[in-house]
Structure 1
């Protein structure tokens, strides 16, 4: 059970004649991928503001709802796509990172190298600055229509990253904010919901990230965000990494 908790938590911190005419009109009214990302960029503070960001530090809590466990959450993000996350649940400590080349995860029994698909996902999704607001970073992107996601009308955008990762992103039609993703993984679809956007130094971030699993939800609540490049040492891979 505990091993499963750790694995789930780490994955924490991815329309006949008249009818045809109606469908065609509806499709014609859909925005382009670029327009959706332009609105998203404006909603979260603008590309100019994010372009100045060299990294950030997030602090908060993590709740493993199906196991009744909760604890502290800390994540560092640095250029160009480095990440380090620690979650202390008391009975187990989770440490996960990516140094730009190698990814690892450990829980007190030595670090283990991430599978290649997880490293690709890290490399594609952990960009700093305003890169996450630029759809040209994808090898393919298509607006597939509108769909209700997390109770909200959203544009559904299917993307394929240059690393070959496939996922669907959902953007709130009204606000432009990205409210969720569903990624294709070897273990099946992985759904993540982004809620409670708040302003931090003129830039908006989701402060409640919910990963849905077959067992239950893993919830990350972010209490504070500090912008600035973290010390490079925090991204250093463990010496025993295989």
Structure 2
């Protein structure tokens, strides 16, 4: 069921139709100390003809603040929960944190986890109407800040029947709140989207990164196993750059 609801929206921008200018997330500096787990909260508002509309929120208590997510403004999360019978236990398993200490308004939600693979939604408290679904059926491996402190590079892994996990990279410009595409000028054009295991990753400058991968012809189980057994574990470095949209 999770694949039906999540894969349709995989790696697209989620834009809520914010007619009433409602924020997607609300930050409070006074967390509820009585609750240490995420909690579903319902709020009944009176609408036309004296009818009541129930709005749903999830409160996430953090160490120094509380973050409230408005489910109406995050359709993919709302649809996912509507398909779950035991919503309470599923919500309690969700995790929301800042992915990087230098990005104070950015929050990453980990949810719908199965066999150590999860889905990830990125929120910007300064941008009320939008959220990004960064990955599905994956595990966050690393988050690296750009030298200008304006972009975040997320590394996600997927475990397959290979000696090494396969990787995808997602870059977000959180100052302008947009997803950035990556490309390279080599024959290794398809190293992203979980096609290759990617090893060490570094920023070269504000627009370029260097990515290391095993120096094998193709990422098959036999070739990666042989590479793992080599003393040198030779790597190939590929420089990637931001593609202007």
TM-score, with normalisation over the residues of structure 2? 0.28
Does 1 or 2 have the higher relative contact order (CA < 8 Å, sep 6+)?
A: 1
**Greater share of helix residues, 1 or 2?**
1
